[in-house]
Amino acid sequence: MRKDVRILLVGEPKVGKTSLIMSLVSEEFPNVVPYRAEEITIPADVTPERVPTHIVDYSEAEQTDEQLFQEISKANVICIVYSVNNKKSIEKVTSHWIPLITENTDKDSRVPLILVGNKSDLVEHSSMETILPIMNRHSEIETCVECSAKNLKNISELFYYAQKAVLHPTGPLYCPDKKDMKPLCVKALTRIFKVSDLDNDGILNDNELNFFQRTCFNTPLESQALEDVKNVVRKNLNDGVRDNGLTLQGFLFLHTLFIQRGRHETTWTVLRRFGYDDDLELNQDYLFPPLKLPPDCTTELNHNAYLFLQSVFDKHDKDRDCALSPEEMRDLFDVFPYMPWGPDVNNTVCTNDQGWITYQGYLSQWTLTTYLDVQRCLEYLGYLGYSIIAEQESQAAGITVTRDKKIDLQKKQTQRSVFRCNVFGDIGSGKSSFLQAFLGRNLLCQKTIREEHRSYYAISTTYVYGQEKYLLLHEVFPDFDYLSDADLACDIVCLVYDVGNPYSFEYCTKVFKQYFVDSKIPCMMIAAKSDLPEVKQIYGCSPLEFCRRHKMPPPQSFTCNTAAAPSRDIYTKLTTMAMHPHARLRCMCTCNRCTFCLCQNFLNSELLQTVRAKLYAVVLIRHVSQADLKSSTFWLKASVGATVFAVLGFAMYRVLLKPR
């Protein structure tokens, strides 16, 4: 809505333009009328629409044509004043003033016109019979008002209609020739209907209508008023009401009726509440609310936003199979001006056997958009009506800005839920397969992916110590001489090499030494295609030795050439390292050959667990009496013994790790 309104009064001399302005201001007819009134400003608090209003007079005797043209170009609405007892002044409306205004205004930005018949106190008849044909010929004329500056008749109404013509124009909404709403208005109201249809059943039931009424007008509808509205629709439209709910056709009919009865401010109130501007386009301020994002911080959806997105998914998952079919997906995005998700999204998130995006994949894609492009996420939430349905000030209320990563490192803990892993590797090393395996696709499934639908991202959930986290994998283009800041900004680095290619490992070492050797970002080496025979890498040392020298976990074996879905253990390890970059997680080894792995397997073996359980039963049950349990000496000995065993165990652990 405009922040102010500028009204220009034009017309032939002596028709009473200045008298109208002075009568409005002083609330009495002036005894002495100057040639021209000075520009006046009416404060917002005394106008019906609560908008400051500037009223500008024009005098042919005091102003040049150039000054008139400038005022016409600045005006938001123009009142053409004529005298009801002067036929010549009425003729001049069409022969002079309307053509003059048309020539000096933009063709794309139509200025509304108000015809004002002054001096109605001097005649007993109305001029409307003469004026109505003029109004029918010129669609830019909003209305006609007959008034009297002398008797103060309809003076306030005149300027109210002028305000209304600017703030609630009929032009963008309605076509008088066709006696129907314009296509853009129908499109906007259709989106509003679909956003308000919370259960997606094609009708607005009583609860949805009441929510809509409260949202737009801050007051619910009484039961009787609700029934009266439905009865009006029933009488005029066969398919306007179904199952005691308002259909889309009924909803559109009501707004057509409002406009035809001169209550187009009702329709504008609805449109503006749902984010539309005067051109019936979604306002940029609505789509992109301000959101401050400091450096080294990331963006995530908060709990309320996830709940809203879950409700949107449930609303469109009509067959309740926890996946969105292509038809359901189109229905969901029908409130968008374009299709936001392309075929690559199906290769970015988890899908079902039919290739449809699952519930988990749907939330993952929203998480990815929020992390990579928060402005795009705000735009998408705006199309879905987040701020309206969730009753929030704006879409920004659904976004959490995480704290600086430096603070996470200092405190050695993080509150983030999304972690980014950049995947580096030479051409053919298996990076793409590594990403697709994260989504549960083995090599056979990956071969069905078309090249043009390939995605360089993969996102899904992992569980770290019982907490659900999102891991975002990003495949980086292999030309490491031109890596951007975005390629290097991540929580963990994944270096992939092909165990069957002797030259593959060298690329990983170059990337590591050039960009990450002095970085605090944890790195992990992935030995891909481990189902193939391993060959010696042509480099100064083996991958295992290289990792030891640079205090990295040993290379992790990986293959997606499996009958079932590939193992997700490695992705859990990556997420754990990303969450705890300060910790040296030595438990990453899975070779089952080194001393550490042998000790771990022995400690976790069923035999040792059985022996421990039996020893516990013998010592505690058979040899500890009730008197001993109450004795402080017993507990002192037990504490000392436990301490000794803990120290010896830790010393043995360090000794075993030295060979590694």
Residue with more model confidence, 49 or 439: 439
User: Which of 212, 223, 111 has its CA nearest to residue 171?
Assistant: 111
- Cβ atoms of residues 466 and 395 within 8 Å: no
User: Which of 366, 530, 324, 350 has its CA nearest to residue 440?
Assistant: 350
- Grade residue 660 by pLDDT with cuts at 50, 70 and 90: very low
User: What's the pLDDT at 587?
Assistant: 47
| 5-167 and 286-402 in the same fold | no
Above pLDDT 90, what percent of the chain? 67
CATH topology of domain 286-402: Recoverin; domain 1 (1.10.238)
290 SS3 class: coil
pLDDT at 317 over 90: yes
Average pLDDT over residues 475-500: 86
Mean pLDDT of the chain: 88
Average pLDDT over residues 352-375: 97
- Interatomic CA distance for residues 179 and 256, integer angstroms: 9
- Cβ atoms of residues 171 and 67 within 8 Å: no
- Interatomic CA distance for residues 81 and 162, integer angstroms: 12
- Grade residue 586 by pLDDT with cuts at 50, 70 and 90: very low
Q: Which CATH architecture has domain 411-579?
A: 3-Layer(aba) Sandwich (3.40)
Over the stretch 88-103, which tens digit does the pLDDT of each residue have?
A: 999 999 999 999 999 8
Amino acid at 522: P
Domain ranges of the chain: 5-167, 177-281, 286-402, 411-579
pTM of the model: 0.81
Amino acid at 623: H
Say how many C-beta atoms besides its own lie within 10 A of residue 580's C-beta.
17
pLDDT at 1 over 90: no
Interacting residues of 369 by C-beta distance below 8 A, sequence separation 6+: 376, 377, 380
Lowest mean pLDDT among 37-46, 211-220, 352-361, 585-594: 585-594
Over the stretch 128-164, which tens digit does the pLDDT of each residue have?
A: 889 999 988 888 888 899 999 999 999 999 998 898 8
pLDDT at 221 over 70: yes
What stretch of H or E contains 318? Answer: none
- Cβ atoms of residues 73 and 100 within 8 Å: no
CATH topology of domain 177-281: Recoverin; domain 1 (1.10.238)
The CATH class given to the 5-167 domain equals alpha beta
- Interatomic CA distance for residues 263 and 257, integer angstroms: 8
Q: What is the DSSP-derived secondary structure letter of residue 409?
A: H
User: What's the pLDDT at 580?
Assistant: 87
Over the stretch 294-306, which tens digit does the pLDDT of each residue have?
A: 988 999 999 999 9
Average pLDDT over residues 25-47: 88
- Interatomic CA distance for residues 259 and 174, integer angstroms: 7
* Separate counts of helices (H) and strands (E) for the chain: 28, 21
Q: Exposed, middle or buried by CB within 10 Å (0-12, 13-18, 19+), for 279?
A: exposed
- Cβ atoms of residues 78 and 101 within 8 Å: yes
Above pLDDT 70, what percent of the chain? 88
- Grade residue 270 by pLDDT with cuts at 50, 70 and 90: very high
DSSP 218-240: SSPPPHHHHHHHHHHHHHH-TTS
User: What's the pLDDT at 48?
Assistant: 72
Distances (CA, A) of 340 to 273, 310, 335: 23, 18, 11
pLDDT at 292 over 70: yes
Q: What is the DSSP-derived secondary structure letter of residue 297?
A: -
Q: Exposed, middle or buried by CB within 10 Å (0-12, 13-18, 19+), for 37?
A: buried
List beta partners, residue 474.
Answer: 422, 457
User: Which of 517, 520, 569 has its CA nearest to residue 547?
Assistant: 517
User: What's the pLDDT at 615?
Assistant: 55
- Grade residue 329 by pLDDT with cuts at 50, 70 and 90: very high
183-196 and 248-260 are packed helices; what angle lies between their axes, rounded to 10 degrees?
Answer: 130
User: What's the pLDDT at 622?
Assistant: 46
User: What's the pLDDT at 230?
Assistant: 94
User: What's the pLDDT at 243?
Assistant: 94
User: What's the pLDDT at 485?
Assistant: 78
User: 18 — phi, psi (to 5°)?
Assistant: -65, -40
pLDDT at 616 over 60: no
Lowest mean pLDDT among 300-304, 582-586, 592-596: 592-596
Over the stretch 393-419, which tens digit does the pLDDT of each residue have?
A: 999 999 999 999 888 888 888 889 999
What stretch of H or E contains 438? Answer: helix 431-438
Over the stretch 535-573, which tens digit does the pLDDT of each residue have?
A: 999 999 999 999 999 999 999 999 999 999 999 999 999
